[in-house]
Structure 1
Amino acid sequence: MKSIFEYRDYHLYLQDYYDERKRLGAFSWREFCRNAGFSSPNFLKLVSMGQSKLSKIKACQVAKSMGLVDYEEQYFYQLVAYGNADNNETQRAAFLEMERIALEHQVRVVDKEALQYYESWKYPVIRELAPLMPGATPRDLAEECKEYVSAEEISDVLDFLVKAGFLKKEGNGVYTQTAQTIIGSKEALPIAIRAMHKEMAIMAARAVDRYSANERFFNGVTLSVNQDAYNRIIEEIKACCKKVVAIANENSNFDQVCRINFQFFPLTDKITGKKYVK
């Protein structure tokens, strides 16, 4: 599903959200309405078709049910205001606020031409680290990394990040980010993204012994689920991830680069339909 910042019609956004949830598993307009607190089982379907509108209160209910948080939630409210506006002045004000929110919380989606970004942990780490150390040399940056990397590699990484548009070079050793957040495009080659997940998982395993408990946080739970619970948990993890990014973006006095891995995977085969006789 596209980023919410690409939408100018909240009716279409609701339809695309429904289609995406439907694609992932069992989901219905009735369930969507129930999650949002509506008694009518087809109200949101009518909204998506443009046959009904969302009030401010209803927009809040819908945003919560979709897991929108922080700036995405605020953008959604303005998207609704823009679509419901009954005069040019109100519509223009909502549109300008939508633009402001989108610009303040830029999100860069990695496309096929920039897949090198996912080839190694060095690219996302240096993209975050370089702006924190204005004037630093590649050697300085290398020495701050927990994993070994040479100054020559750092120099190559910086060249790529600037060329691909992930960083902007402002001066000698001074870099700024062109967008606050980087996310992987669903259209990007999954092999590259899988490689990044594997590399980060290995680094996480090493972190268990490398850092003390007050320097890292690990938690986990083993549980039984069905397909519906699985899909709902996935949506909760996505919402949590968005909230974490929003919290990080609220600050400007950064002093460290960290990584969070959200992992949810099967430990057994599905047993539905299988019979066991004693």
Structure 2
Amino acid sequence: MKPIIEYQDYHAFLSDYYEERKRTSAFSWREFAKIAGFVSPSYLKTVCEGKTNLSKTTMERVAKSIGLVGHEVTYFEAMVQFGNAKKDSQKKKFLDVMQSIAVAHKVHIIDKDAFEYYDSWKNPVVRELAPLMPGAMPGKIAKMCTQEVSAIEIRKSLQFLERSGLLRQTAENVYEQTEKSVEGSKEGLPLAIRSMHREMGNLAIDSLDRFSASERNITGITMGVNREAYEKIVAELDACRKRITAIAEACGDITQVYRLNLQLFPLSKEITGNKED
């Protein structure tokens, strides 16, 4: 079984713990529940299946019952609270705790790079812009950004992109993109991307006043749909995004960096039952 600091989903961790104990002994869900002090013999089974969550009280009992000590307890409790958190700000808080423990114990967490990449609009923009400006110093790249940014911030972004393998320096101040993509865990990456969506959404709002209609295209539709229509629209948006990506990739003489946001979200709650009721 992997060390606890290689997990980010406590349901998966407890499931693997149970399977490992069962593989090496006559371990059962009833015994597991009894050791942890639970009356229901199937309680921990439902937790491992993701049907039930541990609470702050029960996570302490479970941590003790499976023999966690020291940093393992701290990591487990942060992992439980990360998994249970509803708000992204709370998830980020507990994920930071998990990452700091993992780094301290020499475990590479790919979410660290993912969060740094998506933490600001600068990194995706600099990744696109730097290869278009061979030989340019950070200050010159900064002046080409429509948002206010310093030369120092651009330099830090370049250093991060090169360190994480997203840019390759082929000569002094000459960069090219690598084929490497930003990777993360299934728990951490969506959280990092949502952070980027918020920032890019704010930039889209800002663009309404900063740029003329000839430089930006912002449209919208308010409409009524059902689940079937929603799924069809999502598929159409996904196909559209892929077609636009293909157009961008085929562009040979790039002169500018743009951002495209595709947004579809509810403006009302779902109406259920007979419309005549």
TM-score range, shorter chain: 0.5 to 0.7
| Residues 185-217 of structure 1: per-residue CA shift (max 9 Å, x gap) | 672432211110000000000101111110111
Aligned pair in 2 of structure 1 residues 253, 275: CA closer, same or farther (>3 Å)? closer
Match of residue 169 from structure 2: 169
In the alignment, which residue of structure 2 is the partner of 1:114? 113
SS in 1 for 2:135: coil
Name the residue aligned to 2:19: none
User: Percent identity over the alignment?
Assistant: 46
1:129-278 equivalences under 5 Å are 129-179=129-179, 187=186, 188-273=188-273
Taking structure 1 as the reference length, the TM-score comes to: 0.56
Residues 58-91 of structure 1: per-residue CA shift (max 9 Å, x gap): xxxxxxxxxxxxxxxxxxxxxxxxxxxxxxxxxx
User: CA RMSD, aligned part only?
Assistant: 1.9
State the distance in 1 between where 2:158 and 2:173 align: 10
Q: Pick closer, same or farther for the CA change 1:240–1:186 going to 2, 3 Å.
A: farther
Q: TM-score, normalised by structure 2?
A: 0.57
Do the aligned residues in 2 keep the contact of 1:184 with 1:193 (CA within 8 Å)? no
Which runs of no fewer than 5 residues in structure 2 stay unpaired? 1-109
Q: Distance in 2 between matches of 1:113 and 1:196?
A: 15
CA contact (8 A) 2:111 2:183 kept: no
**Counterpart-to-counterpart distance in 2, 1:275 and 1:175:** 60
Deviation at 1:251, TM superposition (A): 1.7
- Aligned pairs for 1:28-39 (under 5 A) are none
The count of residues paired between Structure 1 and Structure 2 equals 166
- Check whether the contact 2:111–2:185 (CA below 8 A) recurs between aligned residues: no
In the other structure, the counterpart of 2:22 is none
User: CA shift at 1:232, angstroms?
Assistant: 1.3
SS in 2 for 1:234: helix
The superposition leaves residues 90-134 of structure 1 with CA deviations (integer Å, 9 ceiling, x where unpaired) of: xxxxxxxxxxxxxxxxxxxxx635211100000000000000000
- AA in 2 matched with 1:229: A
Distance 1:170 1:159 in 2: 14
Q: Stretches of 4+ moved more than 4 A in 1?
A: 182-186, 274-277
Q: 1:140 to 1:273 in 2, by over 3 A?
A: same
Whose RCO is larger (CA < 8 A, sep 6+)? 1
